[in-house]
């Protein structure tokens, strides 16, 4: 019940937002103006989303960065961390061809742009690859699924604002 009330509060807050949230850069004053465009800083990361919240009418999320490996890199990193893998009969490959390492304790908080793109794989409980959804659908998906705290998301951050969130399917 608490989770449903929280979801309704967040959704109603999102629907009530009228001011645009976007990646913005400061405009230099006329005495500082130059002929070059400001640099766009874009970062990509893979993270667990710890929470979503509304602050002063804007959507924010707390991200716990992780290292995501697939294929041979997953096997290599898995074997580095596996303490029992030298024993006979122990696994020699990362389970399901992926490996997640979460050693960075820092939580990163970012505002999510109103124009952010949201892509999910399992919104309906079935796999629907790369389904583009609305902000409201994403928030409902996140708040209604308790296991989302263990689901990785690929995020793109431009000038300190999240512009894209993509769910990573985990078998």
Model-wide pTM > 0.95: no
| pLDDT given for residue 97 in this prediction | 93
> In the prediction, which pLDDT does 83 show?
85
DSSP 92-144: -S-GGGEEEE-----EEEEEEEEEEEEEES-TTSS--TTEEE-HHHHHHHHHH
Q: Average pLDDT per run of 10 along the chain, which is 171 residues long?
A: 42 42 37 64 95 95 97 94 85 91 96 98 93 96 80 96 96 86
| pLDDT recorded at residue 7 | 45
User: pLDDT per residue over 27-37, tens digit each?
Assistant: 344 445 455 77
């Amino acid at each position: 019940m608490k989770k449903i009330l929280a979801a309704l509060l967040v959704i109603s807050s999102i629907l009530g937002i009228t001011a645009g949230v976007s990646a913005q850069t400061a405009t230099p004053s006329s005495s500082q103006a130059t002929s070059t465009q400001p640099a766009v800083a874009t970062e990509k990361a893979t993270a667990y989303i710890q929470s979503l919240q509304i602050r002063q009418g804007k959507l924010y999320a707390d991200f716990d960065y992780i290292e995501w490996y697939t294929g041979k890199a997953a096997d290599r990193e898995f074997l580095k961390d596996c303490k029992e893998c030298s024993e006979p009969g122990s696994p020699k490959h990362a389970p399901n061809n992926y490996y997640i390492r979460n050693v960075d304790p820092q939580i990163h908080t970012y505002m999510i742009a109103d124009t952010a793109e949201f892509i999910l794989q399992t919104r309906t409980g079935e796999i629907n690859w790369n389904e583009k959804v609305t902000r409201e659908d994403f928030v409902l998906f996140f708040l209604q699924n308790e296991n989302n705290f263990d689901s990785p998301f690929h995020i793109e951050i431009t000038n300190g604002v999240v512009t894209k969130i993509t769910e990573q399917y985990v078998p």
